[in-house]
Chains A and B, each alone.
Chain A
Amino acid sequence: MLRLEKRPQPSRLWTYLTPVLAVVLTMLCGGLLFSFLGKDPVLAIRTIFWEPLFSEFAFYYRPQLLVKGAPLVLIAIGLSLGFKAGIWNIGAEGQYIIGALCGAGVALAFYPMEAAFIFPLMVLAGGLGGWAWAMIPAFLKVRFGTNEILVSLMLVYVAEQLLASMSLGLLKNPQGFGFPGSRNLQQYPSAHNAELIAGTGMHWGVVAALIAVIFAYVLLNRHMQGFYIRLTGDAPRAARFAGVSPTRLVLFCLGVSGALAGLAGLFEVAGPSGVVSIDFNAGYGFTAIIVAFLGRLHPVGILMAGGLMALTYVGGDIAQSKLGLPKAAIQLFQGMLLFFLLAVDLTTNYRIRLRRKEAS
Chain B
Amino acid sequence: MSEILLQIEGLTKAYPGVVANADVSLTIRKGEVHALLGENGAGKSTLVKMIYGLVKPDSGQMVLRGAPYAPAQPRAARAAGVAMVFQHFSLFDALDVAENIALGMETPPPMRSLAQQIRQVSETYGLPLDPYRTVGELSAGERQRVEIIRCLLQSPQLLIMDEPTSVLTPQEVEILFETLRKLTAEGVAILYISHKLEEIRALCDAATILRQGRNVGTCVPAQTQARDMAEMMVGSTLHTPARGPRTMGDVLLALNNLSRPSASAFGTALKNITLSVQAGEVLGIGGVAGNGQDELLAVLSGELLTPADAVQFMGQPIGQATPQARRRLGLLCAPEERLGHAAAPDMSLVENALLTGVQRKGLASRGFLKWGAARRFAEDIIARFDVRTPGPDVAARALSGGNLQKFVIGREVMQAPKVLVVNQPTWGVDAAAAAAIRQALLDLAAGGAAVLVISQDLDELMEISDRFAALNEGRLSPAKPTTGLSVDEIGLMMGGAHGMEVAHV
User: Which residues of A pack against B, CB within 8 Å?
Assistant: 8-10, 222-225, 227, 230-231, 234-235, 237-243, 245, 358-360
Residue of A231, A234, A239 ringed by the most chain B CB atoms within 10 A:
A234
In the bound complex, residues from chain A placing their C-beta under 8 Å from that of B415 are none
A219 to chain B, nearest CB (A): 10
CA distance A9 to B349 in the complex (A): 12
Q: Are B72 and A222 closer than 8 Å at their CB atoms? A: no
Please indicate the chain B residues that have their CB under 8 angstroms from the CB of A240 in the complex. Answer: 303, 323
B351 interfacial contact with A, CB 8 Å: yes
A8, A240, A243: residue with the most chain B Cβ atoms closer than 10 Å: A243
Interface size, B (range): 35 or more
Chain B residues with Cβ below 8 Å from A358 are: 56
Q: Say whether A243 contacts B323, CB under 8 Å.
A: yes
Are B367 and A235 neighbours in the complex by a CB distance under 8 Å? no
Centre residue among B56, B322, B341 by max chain A CB count within 10 A? B341
Contact present for A234 and B323 (CB under 8 Å): no
CB neighbours (8 Å) of B347 from chain A are 230-231, 234-235
Q: Most chain-B Cβ atoms within 10 A of its Cβ — which of A9, A230, A235?
A: A235
Contacts of A225 in B (CB 8 A): 367
A360 touches B346 (CB 8 A): no
Known contacts: A237-B340, A240-B303, A243-B302. The answer to whether A223 contacts B394 by CB under 8 A is no
Q: List 8 A-B contacts (CB under 8 A).
A: A9-B394, A9-B398, A223-B369, A227-B354, A234-B346, A240-B303, A242-B355, A243-B322
**Contact (Cβ within 8 A) A8 B344:** no
Least Cβ–Cβ distance between B363 and chain A, in angstroms = 9
B368 at the interface (CB under 8 A from A): yes
The minimal Cβ–Cβ distance linking B61 to chain A, given in whole angstroms, is 16
Contacts of B355 in A (CB 8 A): 231, 238, 241-242
B394 adjacent to A224 (CB under 8 Å): no
Q: Is B335 an interface residue (CB 8 A)?
A: yes
Contacts of A359 in B (CB 8 A): 56, 72
Does B369 lie within 8 Å of A227, measured CB to CB? yes
A231 contact set on B, CB distance < 8 A: 344, 347, 351, 355
**Counting CB contacts under 8 A, is B289 at the interface?**
no
- Whether B398 contacts A235 by the Cβ 8 Å rule is no
Residues 326-357 of chain B, each 1 if its beta carbon lies under 8 Å from chain A, else 0: 01000001010101111111110001001110
Given the complex of chains A and B, what is the CA–CA distance between A222 and B371 in angstroms?
8
Q: Which 9 A-B pairs have the closest CB atoms?
A: A243-B323, A235-B344, A243-B324, A8-B398, A234-B344, A238-B344, A237-B341, A224-B367, A9-B395
In the complex, whether B397 has a CB less than 8 A from a CB of chain A is yes
A-chain residues with CB within 8 Å of residue B72 when the two chains form the complex: 359-360
- 17 additional A-B pairs beyond A8-B398, A227-B369, A230-B347, beta carbons within 8 Å, are A9-B394, A9-B395, A9-B397, A10-B346, A223-B369, A224-B358, A227-B351, A231-B344, A231-B347, A231-B351, A234-B345, A235-B344, A238-B341, A238-B355, A240-B303, A359-B72, A360-B72
Quick check: is B73 within 8 A (CB to CB) of the other chain? Answer: yes
B320, chain A: closest CB distance, angstroms? 13
Contacts of B322 in A (CB 8 A): 243, 245
- Residues from chain B with a CB closer than 8 A to the CB of A237 are 337, 340-341
**Contact at A235–B354, with CB atoms within 8 Å?**
no
B21 touches A (CB below 8 Å): no
Check B364 for interface membership: any CB of A closer than 8 A: yes
Closest Cβ neighbor of B356 among chain A residues: A242
B394-410 contacts to A (CB < 8 Å): 394-395, 397-398
**Chain A residues within 8 Å of B144, by CB:** none
Report A-chain residues with C-beta under 8 Å of the C-beta of B327. 243
Q: Determine the residue in chain B with the shortest Cβ distance to A10.
A: B346
Which residues from chain A contact B302 at a C-beta distance below 8 Å? 243
Cβ contact within 8 Å between B395 and A238 = no
Inter-chain CA distance A239–B346, complex, in Å, is 13
Instruction: Report A-chain residues with C-beta under 8 Å of the C-beta of B351.
Output: 227, 231
B322's nearest neighbour on chain A, judged by CB, is A243
Cα separation A58 to B381 with both chains bound (whole Å): 57
- A8 and B345 contacting across the interface, CB-CB below 8 Å: no
Q: State the CA gap A227–B350 with chains docked (Å).
A: 12
Q: Is B165 an interface residue (CB 8 A)?
A: no
Residues in chain A near residue B337, CB distance under 8 A: 237
B455 beta carbon closer than 8 Å to chain A? no
Q: In the complex the two chains form, is B395's CB within 8 Å of A8's CB?
A: yes
CB A179 to nearest CB in B, in angstroms, measures 51
Residues of chain B within 8 A (CB-CB) of A241 are 301, 303, 323, 333, 335, 341-342, 355-356
Q: Which residues of A contact B301 (CB under 8 A)?
A: 241
Least distance between B244 CB and chain A CB atoms (Å):
32
The minimal Cβ–Cβ distance linking B406 to chain A, given in whole angstroms, is 18
**Chain A proximity mask over B272-312: 1 for CB below 8 Å, otherwise 0:** 00000000000000000000000000000111000000000
A235 contact set on B, CB distance < 8 A: 339-341, 343-347
Closest Cβ of chain A to B72, distance in Å, is 6
- Given A242-B355, A360-B72, answer yes or no on A10-B395 (Cβ-Cβ < 8 Å): yes
Least distance between B157 CB and chain A CB atoms (Å) = 24
Interface centre among B301, B302, B344, B347 (most CB of A within 10 A): B344
**Whole-angstrom distance from the CB of A44 to the nearest CB of chain B?**
40
